[in-house]
Amino acid sequence: MIRIQDLKRISDFEWEIPQSLRGDMRGPVRIFGTRKLLEQILGDKSLEQAVNASTLPGLVGAVVVMPDMHQGYGFPIGGVAATRFPHGVVSPGAIGYDINCGVRLLASSIEMEAALPHLDRLATLLNQYCPSGVGVKGVVHVNVPELDRLMRAGSRWALKNGYARENDLTRTEENGCMEGADPAEVSARAKTRGLDQIGSVGAGNHFVEVDLVESILDPETAAVFGLQQGCLAVQIHCGSRGLGHQVCTDYVQDFQSAVKRYGIELPDRELVCAPMDSPEGQAYLGAMRAAANYAFVNRQLIAFSARRAFEETFAGKLKNWQLIQVYDICHNMGKIETHAVDGKQVKVCIHRKGATRAFGPGTPGLPPEFQQTGQPVLIPGSMGTASWVLAGTETSMLRSWGSSCHGAGRTMSRSQAKHDFRGDVLRRELEGRGIKIRAGSMSGLAEEAPEAYKDVDSVVETVVAAGIVRKVARLRPLVVVKG
Amino acid sequence: MPFEELSHTADWSLRIWAADLTQLFAESARGMNALTGTKLAESPRVQRTFSASAEDAESLLVSFLSELVFFAEQETLAFDRIELKIDAREGQSCTLSATLSGANILSLNKSIKAVTFHNMQIHQTERGYEVDIVFDV
């Protein structure tokens, strides 16, 4: 059990668990959080999990955890770890089952006042065109050879097939395609699960949301991102569906024996890993990238469906109803990146699990328009609460492996939330505040009660005060569609 | 019920116990159905069989439950009668053959993404075999 006295205070917003805490640690753990958030974090096992993550072979520097962190399985949610390329390990469990779960933000010039009379219809059409919920199929069905092409090309597949615009791709992390994807390393079972789920939201905390851009904190950056105060925006939160879950399941199972072959000892079997340059590591990287590309296409198809709903709602009623992509970011991902370590540029594999890439100004790989501003960092709040658009900073490159938080972060178990809240009551409360809800499951709604999460504003204030991001805009929900 | 839900911040966790390994696996499946709130259609009844092998009992349990996750998602099937043969000897690879009888899923409250290995250890206690399982949901 880790206690607050085990932590070294670096600043009001940054703390460290020294490597000396446990003999098997290969680096320290750096925590971004206020004392109050830390006290919440100490209520579960997330810091133990962060310490466990620091035992990964080939670890470089510190394991970093964000203020929205909470207990996961193996690796904490809100964690970032870097391992040396190419001999260090890659760990499927440190990336997660929902490979390339992420958030896409679309902006519009639709003013809220003009949209209000049409929001009910918009909510219904979004619910109809963006399939969500348990066991629900997607909007596109493909055969296995086509699925392989989709997994190789990512968003380029969507562009070729008429589901994307050119600037959707330039405004997607990695341009919507992880190079090195290898569908041959994706099992037949994973492909079976993926065939008919493309373009579906799924269940749990995944959603499609229409927001109001309530306030702009940095007008110049907001203009670059395409956000206008008082106008509508759309957030899409989902990942690689059953295909990604199966890829992770397959490789966590396979790596149980790989760790023995490579003489790797770990405190938790869910952290199993293999050297990146081993056949096992290469196979996982190829499969993980293929699943990541599937997720890019998935969010692209949901964006396509959202545009269809917007067109049917607003065309002929408003002049400009188009949805323009702000950015699409991943928060469960493994990527080979170059970072400054002890004054040298070092190639590492960054494992982000429930953490968002937050590259600062001038970082290679960002589209030209974000070179001055840093990349958009999208932080959805819990259901019914605010969301934030932030921008990456130079400090994030130095302190947090170019990463930031990914949401509010749960504090309450799902069973406790279901015990304490009722979905129908919650729905009435949210609708009383003017938020249109389309939800397939009332118990699912109860699990996502805002009180089950940390206060997203406090989480954002912490990462901003730590300097790893800066505020650009705050969004308020108008329509929530979820399974 | 020889299983109970354990508190977990984001996902779901179950503690299961049973007199022997075979019952432990079967109760794990029942516990998973209870967690997801799975309700079966009365008919038609369906049967499925499968076999698996793994390097230890924990890996075998994850394989078994993952198979059930796959049946639920892909065939909308769940099972209320489970017959298992398990051969698990210390230091040797373990094998399982399963005959499953069930029906179409009429409704369920929640789907399971994956069965994890997190802190999983099958061990013996006063009440027999026991294991904690964390499910990603």
Contact call for residues A452 and A205 (beta carbons, < 8 A): no
| Rounded Cα gap, residues A328 and A213, in angstroms | 17
Residue in A268, A273, A279 with CA at minimum distance from that of residue A257: A273
Least Cα separation, residue A79 to chain B (angstroms) = 14
Which pLDDT does position B16 carry in this prediction?
A: 97
Interior/surface letters A399-430, b for 16+ CB within 10 angstroms, e for the rest? bbbbbbbbbbbbbbbbbbbbeebebeebbeeb
| Lowest mean pLDDT across A241-245, A269-273, A458-462, A479-483 | A479-483
Using an 8 Å Cβ cutoff, are B68 and B79 in contact? yes
Which chain B residues have a beta carbon less than 8 Å from that of A71?
8-10
pLDDT at A230 over 80: yes
Among the partner residues B8, B55, B116, nearest to A71 by beta-carbon distance? B8
**C-alpha closest to that of B128 among B53, B27, B5:** B27
DSSP string, B37-91: T-EE-SS--EEEEEEEEESSHHHHHHHHHHHHHHHHHHH-EEEEEEEEEEE--TT
Confidence of residue A386 (pLDDT cuts 50, 70, 90): very high
DSSP A170-194: HTBGGGG--TT--GGGS-HHHHHHH
Of A250-254, A413-417, A440-444, B11-15, where does the model show the most confidence? A250-254
The C-alpha angle A189, A193, A195, rounded to 5 degrees, equals 110
pLDDT tops 80 at residue B91: no
Q: How far is B19 from chain A (nearest CA, A)?
A: 25
- Give one DSSP letter per residue of A101-128, joined into a string: -EEEEEEEEEEHHHHGGGHHHHHHHHHH
Tokens 């964000």 correspond to what residue?
A66
Select from B41, B44, B60 the least CA-distant residue to B52: B60
Q: What share of chain B is helix, strand, coil (3-state, %, to 5)?
A: 25, 45, 30
Distance from CA of B82 to the nearest CA of A (A): 22
**pLDDT surpassing 90 at residue A135:** no
Neighbours of A215 (CB within 10 A): 14
Please give the pLDDT value at position A419: 86
Distance from CA of A7 to the nearest CA of B (A): 22
What is the distance in angstroms between the Cα of B20 and the nearest Cα belonging to chain A? Answer: 23
Chain B residue closest in CA terms to A41: B9
A245 touches chain B (CB under 8 A): yes
The residue of chain B with its CA nearest to that of A417 is: B9
Are A443 and B62 an interchain contact pair (Cβ–Cβ within 8 Å)?
no
In A, minimum Cα distance to B115 occurs at A249
d(CA B26, nearest CA chain A) in Å:
20
A270 and B62 within 8 Å at the Cβ level: the answer is no
Question: What secondary structure, in 3-state letters, does A247-289 show?
Answer: HHHHHHHHHHHHHHHCCCCCCCHHHCCEECCCHHHHHHHHHHH
Q: Which of B70, B76, B118 sits opposite A268 (nearest CB)?
A: B118
Of A1, A38, A23, A14, residue with least CA distance to A411: A38
Q: pLDDT category, B57, cuts 50, 70, 90?
A: very high
Taking contacts as CB-CB distances below 8 angstroms, the residues of chain B near A189 are 70
Please name the residues between 418 and 447 in chain A that touch chain B, using a CB distance below 8 Å.
441, 443-444
pLDDT confidence of residue A335: 98
Q: Which domains does chain B have, with CATH numbers?
A: 12-136 (3.55.10.10)
* pLDDT value of position A93: 97
Region A80-93: mean pLDDT is 98
Side chain identity at residue B33, one-letter code: N
The ipTM assigned to this model is 0.94
Buried b (16+ CB within 10 A) or exposed e, A36-55: ebbebbbebbbbbbbbbbbb
A142, A191, A200, A243, A309 from A196: Cα distances, Å: 7, 9, 9, 10, 21
Catalytic residue IDs of A? 406
Q: What architecture is domain A4-411+453-482? A: Alpha-Beta Complex (3.90)
pLDDT tens readout for residues A260-297? 999 999 999 999 999 999 999 999 999 999 999 999 99
Confirm if B96 and B64 have CB atoms less than 8 A apart. yes
Is B114 in contact with A97 (Cβ distance < 8 A)?
Answer: yes
pLDDT at B15 over 90: yes
Task: Output the pLDDT for position B11.
Answer: 84
Q: Give the residue on B whose Cα is nearest the Cα of A249.
A: B114
Residue A136 near residue A171, CB atoms below 8 Å: no
Please tell me which of the candidates A70, A249, A412 has its beta carbon nearest to residue B66.
A249
Give residue A394's pLDDT: 97
Give dist(CA A379, CA A404) in Å, integer. 9
Q: Average pLDDT, whole number, for chain A?
A: 95
**How high is the mean pLDDT of chain B?**
94
- For chain B, the residues whose C-beta falls within 8 A of a C-beta of chain A are 5, 7-12, 37, 54-55, 58-59, 62-63, 66, 70, 72-74, 76, 105, 108-111, 113-120, 134, 136-137
Which tokens go with A78? 């809100």
Residue A440, judged by CB atoms within 10 A of its CB (0-12, 13-18, 19+), counts as middle
Q: Give the DSSP H/E element, type plus range, for residue A155.
A: helix A155-160
CA A176 from centroid of its chain's CA atoms = 14
Question: Percent of chain A having pLDDT more than 90?
Answer: 86
pLDDT of residue A203: 84
Give contacts of A 247-286 with B, CB under 8 A. 248-249, 252-253, 256-257, 268-270, 272
The whole-number pLDDT of residue A134 equals: 73
Model confidence at B125: pLDDT above 90: yes
A11-69 pLDDT tens trace = 999 999 999 999 999 999 999 999 998 988 888 899 999 999 999 999 999 999 999 99
- Does residue A46 sit at the B interface (CB-CB below 8 Å)? yes
**Other CB atoms within 10 Å distance of the CB of residue A217:** 16
Q: Which two tokens stand for residue A178?
A: 């992880």
- What tokens appear for A388 in the block? 């934030």
Measured between its terminal Cα atoms, the distance across chain A in Å is: 36
- What local confidence, expressed as pLDDT, does residue B109 receive? 83
**Regarding beta strands A59-73 and A207-216, do their DSSP bridges make them parallel or antiparallel, or are they unpaired?**
unpaired
Domain coordinates of chain A in residue numbers? 4-411+453-482
- Token pair 């969301």: residue: A387
Residues 6+ apart with CB under 8 A from A96: A72, A75, A248, A332, A353, A354, B136
Q: Tell me the pLDDT band of A446, cut-offs 50, 70 and 90.
A: confident
Rounded to the nearest 10 degrees, the angle between the axes of helix A279-314 and helix A119-129 is: 140
Is the pLDDT score of A242 beyond 80?
yes
User: Chain B contact for A457, CB < 8 A?
Assistant: no
Q: Which residues have a Cβ under 8 Å from the Cβ of A30 and sit 6 or more positions away?
A: A10, A14, A15, A16, A62, A63, A64, A65, A399, A400
Instruction: Report, as an integer, the average pLDDT of A414-436.
Output: 90
Any idea of the CA torsion for A293, A324, A433, A427, to the nearest 10 degrees?
-30
Predicted local confidence at residue A364, as pLDDT: 93
pLDDT at position B13: 93
- pLDDT at site B89: 83
What pLDDT score does A43 carry?
82
pLDDT at A415 (0 to 100): 81
Say if the Cβ atoms of A97 and B62 lie within 8 Å.
no
Compute the distance between CA of residue A96 and CA of residue A247 in angstroms, rounded to an integer: 10
Q: What is the largest CA-CA distance in chain B?
A: 43
| Residues of chain B with C-beta less than 8 angstroms from the C-beta of A415 | 5, 7, 12
- Predicted pLDDT of residue A471: 98
pLDDT mean over A308-335:
97
Q: Contact B114/A269, CB-based, under 8 Å?
A: no
In angstroms, the CA A255 to CA A270 distance is 10
Residue B130, pLDDT > 80, answer yes
Contact B9 A412 (CB under 8 A): yes
- pLDDT at residue number A205: 86
Nearest residue on chain A to B55, alpha-carbon basis? A257
pLDDT at A450: 87
Structure confidence at residue A448 as a pLDDT band (50, 70, 90): confident
Angle between helices A241-261 and A188-195 (to 10 degrees): 160
